[in-house]
Chains A and B, each alone.
Chain A
Amino acid sequence: EVQLVESGGGLVQPGGSLRLSCSASGFTFSSYTMHWVRQAPGKGLEYLSTITNNGGSTNYADSVKGRFTISRDNSKNTLYLQMNSLTPEDTALYYCVKKHSSGWYVYWGQGTLVTVSS
């Protein structure tokens, strides 16, 4: 069974940093491109970032480009999201997602909440 478990969320001050982790199991992690998606409280879903299976290629939404960095450690079956220069607009539930090769999001973690506030 595919499981994605996010951690690392919490309360951080504006301008601060946080690193999120996503521990994956139930599939061959090193074979799959992985993604981060977020959802602000009471709002819709927003794509954030993608990393290929070997970490060789990454993509970012314009809203986080230059501030967030996606990475992975295939030896630990773990996906990361380093978030810097956080603003209140980054307050959201952050999901780790495994996508089908054709594009739709099949497996979602339970999310980890990031709150940016002074």
Chain B
Amino acid sequence: EIVMTQSPATLSVSPGERATLSCRASQSVASNLAWYQQKPGQAPRLLIYGASTRATGIPARFSGSGSGTEFTLTISSLQSEDFAVYFCHQYNNWPPTFGGGTKVEIK
């Protein structure tokens, strides 16, 4: 199965700053990658699919890029509600697999 590796495990960022999260696949997943946000006690929420398409209702400060094995989620200016854990997910190959997550915390 494809292994998804996220880095860093924890990212400390001040409100208003830019956050850059990375996700690497052990083999190519083309653009079949999604990003989810998860807050404590809540289910994951879809942010990005197709590596770069924002899901319905997701603010423009969230952007995704990459293809093949290297992907990036960028939050251009962190708001208080953005402090959460972010997971990447490949759906190119079966079984679908997830990264271990990046926790974005307040610096």
Q: Please list the residues of chain A having a beta carbon within 8 angstroms of any beta carbon in chain B.
A: 43-47, 59, 61, 95, 100, 102-106, 108-111
Contacts and interface: CB of A to CB of B under 8 A. Distances in A.
Q: Which of B36, B43, B98 has the most CB of A within 10 A?
A: B43
Interface of B: 32, 34, 36, 42-46, 49-50, 55, 87, 89, 91-92, 94-101
Given A46-B98, A105-B89, A108-B44, 4 more contacts: A95-B44, A100-B49, A102-B49, A104-B46
Contacts of B91: 102-104
Main secondary structure of the interface of A (DSSP, over half): loop
Contacts of B49: 100, 102-104
A63 B12 CA distance: 34
B95 A45 contact: no
A45 B89 contact: yes
Contacts of A100: 49
A45 B37 CA distance: 12
A44 B94 contact: no
Contacts of A108: 43-45
A78 B32 CA distance: 29
Contact of A105 (B32, B34, B42, B100): B34
A105 B99 CA distance: 14
Contact of A45 (B32, B87, B92, B94): B87
Given A45-B87, A108-B43, A103 B32 contact: yes
Given A103-B32, A104-B49, A44 B98 contact: yes
Contact of B95 (A61, A106, A110, A111): A61
Contact of B101 (A44, A103, A110): A44
A95 B96 contact: no
A45 B46 CA distance: 13
B40 to A, nearest CB: 11
Nearest to B48: A104
A74 B70 CA distance: 40
A94 B91 CA distance: 19
A83 B96 CA distance: 21
